[in-house]
Structure formats: C-alpha cells, structure tokens
Amino acid sequence: MHRKTIRLLLFIQLLSLITFGQDKQLTYYPATDFGIRGQAKEIASQGFTRIDSVYHKNLSESLQNLSKNTAGLYVEFQTNSSFIDLKWELETYKVLPNMTPLAVNGFDLYGLKDNRWQYVASAPPRGQTNKVRVIKNLRSSSQRFRLYFPLYSQVKTLLIGIDEKADIAATELIEARPKILIYGSSITQGASASRPGMAFASILGRSLDAEVYNFGFSGSGKMESEMAEILQKVKADVIILDCVPNPSPEQISQRTIPFVELLRKRQPNVPILMVESVFREAGNWDEKLGQRVRNQNNAFHNSYEQLLKKGYVQLYYIESDQLIGSDHQATTDGVHFSDLGHYRMAKTLEKQLRTILHTTK
C-alpha cells in the first residue's frame, strides 16, 4: 500500500512537471491588445460590451443585461505560432434549451485562406473558466485569424496563447469597410446557430467584407425610443431593422416611424433595410399565432408605406417569404434559425445589401 502511494505521488508530480513545462512554452496576450471589432466605438469602449453602462440609465434591465452579451464581437490577429490556445472567464456559464453550449459560451476561430475566411476550429466551453487548445500543427509562416466571441454570454477576460518564440500582432483595421448596423431580436443575436461564426450577422460580415454591429436583443428588440437615441450615435453605411418578432402589432404601428426618424437624426440619408418577421412554424397550425405574425408584418409594412408617403428615400423592404425558404427545414425550434436558416437569411440580405452599398458609394 505504501509503495502504491509513493508511485501515485511520483506520477502526480511528473504530470504536474509536464503540464508546467507546457505552460512555460506559452505566452498569453490579452485579447484587448488586438482591438475589439464588431463593436461600435461611438457607444462601446469598455471591454467586451455592445453598449457602455453610461447609456444604461434609460434602458430596461433586460436590455442592460443583454447589451453585455458579446454577440458579434471578434478580434483579428496574425501569428506564426504552431498552435493557438484560449483562456477565458465568463460572468456566468449559461445553459439555453434551444442553443448549443458552444454558441452560448464558446469561441469560433476562422482563418484567411485564398483571400476568403474559412472555418478553422472552435473552443468549446466547459464552465465559467476555460482553457482550450483550439488548433495545433500550424505552418510556421504568419497567418491571419479571426476569433468570434460567444453569442449569449458576458466575457470577463480572454487571453490568446501562442508559442513563446512566435510573433503575434493585430491586423490592420480597414476603415473603408462598409459598416452595417443590425438591430433586432434573438435571431439577430444569433439564436439558434450552432456556433458564433454561423450567426447570419457574422456570415454577412465575412461575405461582404464589412464591419457588422450586432444589436440583436433576445426578446427585447421592441423599437423603444431610448434605444433609437443610442443607436443613432453610431455611424453606419446601412441600418437593418430585423425587430418585428418582438413588439406587438400595436407597438409596431406606434413605434416604427418615430424609431426610423430618430435613427435618421444624425444621418438623414443612411439607407435603412426593413425586414419582416419570419413566419413561425407553429403559426401554420395555431391560427391565433399565425394571425399575430401576419398582423405584425402588416403593421410594419403599413409603416414602411407611410414613411414613403412622407417623402423618405433610401428605404428598402424584405417580406417574410423571402427570408429562409419555404421547405420548413431552416429552424431549430420552429422560430429560431438553425445554421441553414442563418445561412439562407444571410444570403437573402447579402443580395439586397450589395445593391444598396453599390448605389450609396
């Protein structure tokens, strides 16, 4: 028994030495060293947040909390390291019934290959604190990477680990990239993509080589004037309103026109793309639910027509049946998009956005 105990202690000591030796070969860098992107600097400059606390005063508690979720945020860097590690801490490890732990709490790594962003690997979460080797056996020449943040969690700290003998640097920020502001619901925020890089806002950022600001707020994208007052501070080349699923038909009728007017306060000519609510699958059977969605979309379309009559230009509109196909295969739970739904949504928006961005340049 005594010999077994000694052997066990020696094994544990050897294991700790091996682990320590591995850690000594790493150098960790704070993600903030590389600049947080997908973050509208006019209203967000405090770490990993979408809206700074200074603007929280007039927002609901739900919006205050959701603004701390890191949906749409990412960092870009280039390195010649043979591996990439991540260490991160979450404010809370969240479990959502219609989403994967990876999408809610983890990270997605993409690499630039042949001038196109390509998925590399993910950093799956295990709890509130995490340490993951995302990729290994990389070539020794410098490569460019993009790391997407969790969609539905608040990140407290993030460290990027590389070989201590390797180099790492932020990539150049291209100011000429189009800036797209998307305001909406849980679907905009990313539900229910399997991982962060598959949210339609993130797909759009890659396909259009654009800086996309994701202002999706789960269950809370209700076109409040207080939110419009904040968002109108953000300089954007296009604004997308994908918020119809959350407000009632009455709220849509009352709020859409004032919301658009406030968004145009500083940028009177900014193009605005108005997007109807996806039709909920159960609404094909639940007549009351189906009528509610139709009423929401009708109220939104009526507001769009009123804006046109008022003389507003650079307004664009996409109807519900154009969003994710008609085969009823593109949602996770009948409401929130699967990866297929997010991809189809991104492609629908991309087609319209290419037209808008071309005409506004």
Instruction: Determine the pLDDT at residue 174.
Output: 82
The chain-wide mean pLDDT, for the chain, equals 94
Instruction: Determine the pLDDT at residue 358.
Output: 87
Instruction: Determine the pLDDT at residue 175.
Output: 80
**Cα 156 from Cα 221, distance rounded (Å):** 25
Q: How many CA atoms lie within 13 A of 345 on its CB side?
A: 30
Instruction: Determine the pLDDT at residue 74.
Output: 99
Pairing relation of β-strands 107-113 and 179-184? unpaired
Residue 301 has pLDDT above 80, yes or no: yes
Across residues 50-74, what is the average pLDDT? 98
Residue 12 has pLDDT above 70, yes or no: no
Residue 317 has pLDDT above 60, yes or no: yes
* Residue 31: closest CA among 179, 127, 145, 116: 145
Instruction: Determine the pLDDT at residue 23.
Output: 53
Residue 155 has pLDDT above 80, yes or no: yes
Between the alpha carbon of residue 347 and those of residues 262, 323, 326, 353, 354, the distances in Å are: 28, 9, 15, 10, 11
Across residues 284-312, what is the average pLDDT? 99
List pLDDT tens digits, range 185-208.
999 999 999 999 999 999 999 999
Instruction: Determine the pLDDT at residue 18.
Output: 40
List pLDDT tens digits, range 229-280.
999 999 999 999 999 999 999 999 999 999 999 999 999 999 999 999 999 9
**Cα 285 from Cα 63, distance rounded (Å):** 32
List pLDDT tens digits, range 275-296.
999 999 999 999 999 999 999 9
* Secondary structure letter of residue 23 according to DSSP: H
* Residues paired with 146 in a beta bridge: 76, 110
Instruction: Determine the pLDDT at residue 4.
Output: 54
- Contact between 269 and 301 under an 8 Å Cβ cutoff? The reply is no
* Secondary structure letter of residue 149 according to DSSP: P
Question: Architecture of 26-170 per CATH?
Answer: Sandwich (2.60)
Who wins on pLDDT, 8 or 26?
Answer: 26
- Contact between 43 and 233 under an 8 Å Cβ cutoff? The reply is yes
* Secondary structure letter of residue 37 according to DSSP: B
- Helices H, strands E: what count in the chain? 9, 14
CATH code linked to domain 179-360: 3.40.50.1110
Peptide bond into 192 cis (omega under 30): yes
pTM of the predicted structure, to 2 decimals: 0.92
Instruction: Determine the pLDDT at residue 173.
Output: 85
- Contact between 42 and 233 under an 8 Å Cβ cutoff? The reply is yes
Cα radius of gyration (the chain): 22
**Cα 55 from Cα 215, distance rounded (Å):** 14
Who wins on pLDDT, 307 or 358?
Answer: 307
Per-domain residue ranges for the chain? 26-170, 179-360
Residue 338 has pLDDT above 70, yes or no: yes
